[in-house]
Amino acid sequence: MSARKRRISKEISIPELRHLLLEKHKGIHSERLAHYQATGRISPNTSSGLNRQTPIEPDLSDGVEKSERELHAGRKQRSKRVDTWLLIIEGVAAVGLIGILLVGYNSLRSLNREVSSALQQPEVTPTALLTAVILPGGHTPPNSPEGAQPNDSEIPAHLMPIVQSLANIPIPTASPEQAIRIQIPSINVDAPVVQGDGWDQLRKGVGQHINDAEPGKPGNLILSAHNDVFGEIFRHLDQLKTGDSITVFTSSRQYNYKVTASLIVEPTRVEVMQPTGEQTVTLISCYPYLINNKRIVIQATLQQ
């Protein structure tokens, strides 16, 4: 096909194409009729009738319009399917996003709780730096064959290394808040108080346990003395009654305590030395007199 024909085929319209096909059909019909007349297959008069017959014009527009309608319907149907799939995908994506947000929110809350728990400091109860394994003041009676000596037999064998390790702990320097004297009028006690409650300290008077509470402060102030040697300072603790007065002096003031309890316990009952939430004082001595196989414990609370 020449360039001219190609250009014409591109520019021709449907009505023009229909006209050209009609003309071509008429030409073919005329040639065929002339051939039949020449060969005697039909009479010459037939030509007029045949020529008067209106050739059937092929209707090409219906096919074109039908094809266009089918094409448009197919496109519309495909578009609906695409829209449906897009809607489904959007719904799935929305559900997935909501799930991710919920998981993230729960993870964040869990992390915040863990961080808050890690940052929260536990409430610490003050405890003594030196933990006693036996109540202070224990010794053999002065009338025993060896005389008055520290009674190591009271110490459980498995705890002896701890006692030995604490024997040479240096005594802290006294402060203005520490006890320096004790008075118990009902049993005629008026004695100095020194720091520490070992054998050497209790030779000098009443000993204050290291690292316990200061007088008048919340906690347990523990004071010990002998009952049958070195002045027998705590000889008559068993005569104290509930309500009796105990006065403890510091370098700046005095504190008055009232007796609340009297106990006879084994030397290993160190729980009586535990810190308390109130302002208390605990007095400890060997018991009974000249036997010393137990301890007498007097407990008193501060009077405001």
Q: What is the pLDDT of residue 66?
A: 61
Q: What are the pLDDT tens digits along the chain (304 aa)?
A: 555 555 555 567 777 777 777 887 778 877 777 777 777 666 666 554 444 444 444 554 555 566 667 767 777 787 888 888 888 998 888 888 898 988 888 888 888 888 777 776 555 444 444 456 789 988 999 999 989 998 877 877 776 676 656 666 677 777 888 999 999 999 999 999 999 998 999 999 999 998 889 999 999 999 999 999 999 999 999 999 999 999 999 999 999 999 999 999 999 999 999 999 999 999 999 999 999 999 999 999 999 7
Global confidence as pTM: 0.57
For residue 170, say if its preceding peptide bond is cis, omega within 30 degrees of 0: no
Q: Give residue for tokens 């002045």.
A: 231
Both tokens of residue 84?
């449906």
**Distance (Å, rounded) from C-alpha 241 to C-alpha 245?**
9
Find the largest Cα–Cα distance for the chain: 177
Q: Give the start-to-end residue ranges of the domains of the chain.
A: 12-58, 177-302
For residue 48, the model assigns a pLDDT of 47
DSSP states of the chain: --HHHHHHHHH--HHHHHHHHHHHHHHHHHHHHHHHHHTTSS-TTHHHHHHHSPPPPP-HHHHHHHHHHHHHHHHHHHHHHHHHHHHHHHHHHHHHHHHHHHHHHHHHHHHHHHHHHHHSPPPPPP--SS--SS-TT-B--TTSTT-S-B-GGGS-GGGHHHHHHHTTPPPPPP-TTS--EEEEGGGTEEEEEEE--STTGGGTSEEEPTTSPPTTSSEEEEEE--SSSTT-TTTTGGG--TT-EEEEE-SS-EEEEEEEEEEEE-TT-GGGGS--SSEEEEEEEEESTTT-SEEEEEEEEE--
Q: What is the DSSP string of 59-85?
A: -HHHHHHHHHHHHHHHHHHHHHHHHHH
299 in Cβ contact with 167 (< 8 Å): no
CATH number of this structure's domain 177-302 = 2.40.260.10
